[in-house]
């Protein structure tokens, strides 16, 4: 936590970034109705929101505190960190998670979207990337998007991510420094660059 506090101090004094300790809804317009925000209790609190630009995208970096399901006041809190990229297009809801995170947080028990997208069936795992859990509201789109290259890059990034309208929400466990989250945002941008040309037919300008 000491390194995280030092990182917050460095970046909140940087004029290139905008910092909010406890942001209101105007600063969190990305989808918060799917994981990681709904892991455990689904009563997440966004803290330490940092807004700026990374890898050519508007980004929002943040910490989340999530009480466990059914916890009373004083119960154990779970920590997550996220990097949200604002994309110039909108794509169908899709979630991809390395098995390390998927197993730790039992994401198979939860709807990754909760945005009224209808039933979501897991896409088949297999090949050399059985370590990645994946699901899409549009299975045809998911199959076209999640190539071996995209899955390999996801494993290298060691973070989960999901498409939610015009946002790509990347997440990992624990509170991370902003330096770590900027690197994660850059890796997410590499994943977006690897999206195959076939997915362009699903893109909707925003």
Q: DSSP assignment of 116-155, as one string?
A: S----EEPPP-TT-TTEEEEESSHHHHHHH--HHHHHHHH
Q: Tokens in use for 37?
A: 């925000």
Q: What percent of the chain has pLDDT over 70?
A: 85
Q: Can you give the pLDDT at residue 72? A: 55
Identify which of 172, 152, 173, 174 has the alpha carbon closest to the alpha carbon of residue 162: 172
For residues 79 and 45, is the Cβ–Cβ distance under 8 A?
A: no
Paired with 91 in beta bridges are: 165
- Range in 44-58, 94-108, 186-200 the model is least confident about: 94-108
Identify which of 141, 145, 146, 144 has the alpha carbon closest to the alpha carbon of residue 130: 146
Query: Is the bond leading into 36 cis (omega within 30 degrees of zero)?
Result: yes
Q: What is the pLDDT of residues 51-107, one digit of tens each?
A: 999 999 999 999 988 777 665 555 567 889 999 999 999 999 999 999 889 888 888
- C-alpha distances (whole Å) from 160 to each of 3, 59, 75, 96, 154 are 23, 16, 26, 6, 7
Mean pLDDT (whole number) for 153-162: 94
Identify which of 109, 110, 152 has the alpha carbon closest to the alpha carbon of residue 130: 152
Residue in the block written with tokens 């330490």: 48
């Amino acid at each position: 936590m000491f390194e995280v506090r030092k990182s917050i101090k460095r970046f909140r004094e940087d004029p290139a970034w905008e910092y909010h300790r406890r942001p209101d809804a105007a600063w969190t317009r990305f989808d918060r109705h799917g994981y990681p925000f709904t892991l455990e209790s689904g009563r997440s609190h966004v803290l330490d929101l940092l807004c700026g630009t990374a890898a050519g995208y508007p980004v929002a970096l943040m910490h989340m505190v999530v009480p466990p399901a059914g916890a009373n006041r004083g119960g154990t809190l779970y920590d997550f960190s996220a990097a949200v990229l604002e994309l110039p297009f909108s794509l169908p809801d899709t979630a991809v998670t390395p098995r390390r995170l998927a197993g730790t947080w039992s994401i198979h028990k939860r709807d990754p979207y909760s945005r009224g997208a209808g039933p979501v069936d897991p896409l088949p795992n297999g090949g050399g990337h059985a370590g990645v859990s994946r699901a899409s509201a549009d299975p045809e789109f998911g199959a076209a998007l999640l190539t071996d290259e995209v899955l390999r890059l996801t494993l290298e990034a060691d973070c989960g991510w999901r498409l939610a309208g015009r946002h790509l929400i990347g997440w990992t466990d624990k509170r991370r420094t902003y330096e770590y989250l900027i690197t994660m945002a850059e890796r997410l941008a590499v994943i977006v660059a690897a999206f195959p040309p076939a997915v362009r037919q699903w893109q909707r300008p925003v």
